[in-house]
Amino acid sequence: MIIYSYEQRFIGGECMAEKYNKKVMSHINFMSEDELSDLAELFKIFGDSTRIRILYDLFNGEKNVTEITDDLEMNQSAISHQLRILKTNKLIKARRDGKAVYYSLDDDHVKTIIAMGKQHIEEEKYYEKEI
């Protein structure tokens, strides 16, 4: 995954994101209502800051509930509840080692989604400063 700086995203007056968006839009035009609904449900999962914090915490590799609880300074019950939601929606996976369960991101798509969201926010902040 490559994350470009603001200057790198604009080449020859055309935004790289616009080129990418044109390609994505061509695929969206062919999405069924069920696929659109599934996509909306996926984005709802990213609507909770605790879940985002957990996903971000797992960027560096697998961790057990205690490690995540310590990192986020939250109680185990709240973390376990969010882990269950993330696992049900296939954003994380679990591996059992004896009594311990270790969680990790399901795949690199999760990192990409968060990185693109962060990049979008930074771009908005840049535009606000310009205006």
pLDDT of 12 strictly over 70? no
Residues 6+ apart with CB under 8 A from 106: 90, 91, 92, 93
Predicted confidence (pLDDT) per residue in 27-86, tens digit? 667 889 999 999 999 999 999 999 999 999 999 999 999 999 999 999 999 999 999 999
pLDDT of 1 strictly over 50? no
Q: How many CB atoms lie within 10 A of CB 20?
A: 11
Sorted by where each starts, the structural domains of the chain and their CATH numbers stand as: 46-130 (1.10.10.10)
What's the whole-number average pLDDT of the chain? 86
SS3 at position 15: strand
The pLDDT value given to residue 29: 73
Angle, vertex CA 84, rays to CA 110 and CA 66, nearest 5:
90
- Six-digit token pair at 98? 């004896």
